[in-house]
């Protein structure tokens, strides 16, 4: 079980070191039921559809229905009490649990909304560190983008608030944590084909949703993918994302091993940079390391520009075909995301995923 304490006693100082390992959680046969948390944290609801929205899902196991309905009723009462007004959230509305991770500008904690006991991830960003690094606009952009993206495979930003020293992002809690940790724990450090295909399909679908709203993620990698309680992908960390209605950008950003040729060469680019990253991701899922990884940074740049991909023997022809169609130097030659989802390797392997 989780231990929670009062929010005023456990929020630490700004973290300086990079991300630490996510602590494993033991659910002890708990069944996690999908609830409508967005409605708890959003602004208004009409009275006529409250009963329908806060009803127990049909997929809920019979033995869990009573407890789930109690939680839903608490959520509904919370919404009704606002009388259509915006609720001003503060840190006092949450009990704080164990740290889930830390970064240069703050920490992420497991948290629980006090009135409903609904669990969330609470990301704390320290204003002083953001100002020092001149990242204020980047954080505002991250909030703006993630607030408007609603998709089963995108981590939901439920709400946000701030005080004199911190910005708080209330995020959906992805119970199984970072996908990267699961990748490292696999035999030979790589996923079996069915799991890899399932994850690539879900990331492709999430990216397609982003692109429909003119959002380029620009930092796809296993560390920025989480797993929910059912083992499904949650695309997270929109810190390098950009809303680009004009499509063309020139900023070089992201992670070295995942940079596409057009970024390395300093050229304009569009949402097709995410296609390239998906190809690198698929390769890493199946091999356990990125395709252009080198001991020297200049060698990595050279291999990216040459699209120098070497496949181990265990990577089968259909998987190679998909990867090769995403890792094309010319962005316009890369396989569109809709075609990724129906590629023969994805269709055949995804059907066997757990």
Total Cβ atoms within 10 A of residue 253: 15
CATH number of 177-353: 1.10.510.10
Catalytic residue among 95, 205, 219, 270: 219
Question: Which of the pair, 77 or 15, is modelled with greater confidence?
Answer: 77
- The residue extents of the domains of the chain are 38-54+83-172, 177-353
- Catalytic, 313? Answer no
What is the distance, to the nearest Å, from the Cα of residue 37 to the centroid of all Cα atoms in its chain?
Answer: 17
pLDDT tens-digit profile of 129-167? 999 999 888 899 899 999 889 999 999 999 899 999 999
CB under 8 A, 24+ apart: contacts of 28-35 = 28/1, 31/61, 31/64, 32/175, 32/228, 32/229, 32/230, 33/57, 33/60, 33/64, 33/68, 34/59, 35/68, 35/71, 35/72, 35/75, 35/118
Q: Is 52 annotated as a binding residue?
A: no
Q: Is 223 annotated as a binding residue?
A: yes
pLDDT tens-digit profile of 289-344? 999 999 999 999 999 999 999 999 999 999 999 999 999 999 999 999 999 999 99
Burial, 353: exposed, middle or buried (Cβ in 10 Å; 0-12, 13-18, 19+)?
middle
Entry pTM: 0.83
Phi and psi torsions of 132, nearest 5°: -60, -35
CATH class of 38-54+83-172: alpha beta
Q: Is 237 annotated as a binding residue?
A: yes
Q: Is 174 annotated as a binding residue?
A: yes
Residue 177 has pLDDT above 80, yes or no: yes
């Amino acid at each position: 079980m989780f231990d929670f304490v009062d929010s005023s006693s456990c929020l630490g100082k700004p973290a300086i070191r990079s991300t630490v390992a996510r602590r494993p959680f033991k659910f002890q046969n708990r069944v996690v039921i999908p609830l409508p948390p967005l409605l708890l944290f959003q602004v208004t609801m009409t009275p006529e559809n409250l009963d329908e929205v806060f009803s127990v899902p049909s997929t809920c196991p019979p033995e869990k229905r009573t407890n789930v309905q109690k939680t839903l009723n608490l959520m509904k009462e919370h919404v009704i009490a606002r009388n259509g007004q915006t609720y001003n959230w503060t840190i006092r509305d949450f009990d704080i649990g164990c740290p889930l991770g830390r970064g240069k500008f703050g920490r992420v904690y497991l948290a629980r909304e006090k009135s409903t006991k609904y669990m969330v991830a609470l990301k704390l960003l320290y204003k002083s560190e953001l100002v020092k690094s001149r990242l204020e606009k980047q954080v505002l952009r991250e909030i703006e983008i993630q607030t408007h993206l609603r998709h089963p495979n995108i981590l939901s930003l439920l709400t946000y608030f701030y005080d004199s020293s911190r910005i708080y992002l209330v995020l959906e809690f992805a119970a199984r944590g970072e996908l990267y940790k699961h990748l490292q724990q696999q035999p030979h450090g790589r996923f079996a084909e069915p799991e890899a295909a399932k994850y690539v399909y879900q990331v492709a679908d999430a990216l397609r949703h982003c692109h429909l709203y003119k959002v380029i993620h620009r930092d796809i990698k296993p560390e920025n993918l989480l797993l929910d309680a059912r083992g499904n992908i949650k695309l997270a960390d929109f810190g390098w994302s950009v809303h680009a209605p004009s499509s063309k950008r020139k900023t070089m950003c992201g992670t070295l091993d995942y940079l596409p040729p057009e970024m390395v060469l300093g050229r304009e680019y569009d949402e097709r940079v995410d296609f390239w990253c998906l190809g690198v991701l698929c390769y890493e899922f199946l091999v356990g390391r990125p395709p252009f990884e080198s001991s020297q940074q200049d060698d990595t740049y050279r291999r990216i520009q040459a699209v120098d991909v070497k496949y181990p023997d265990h990577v089968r022809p259909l998987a190679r075909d998909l990867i090769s169609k995403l890792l094309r130097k010319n962005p316009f030659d890369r396989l569109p995301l809709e075609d990724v989802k129906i590629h023969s390797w994805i269709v055949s392997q995804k059907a066997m995923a757990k």
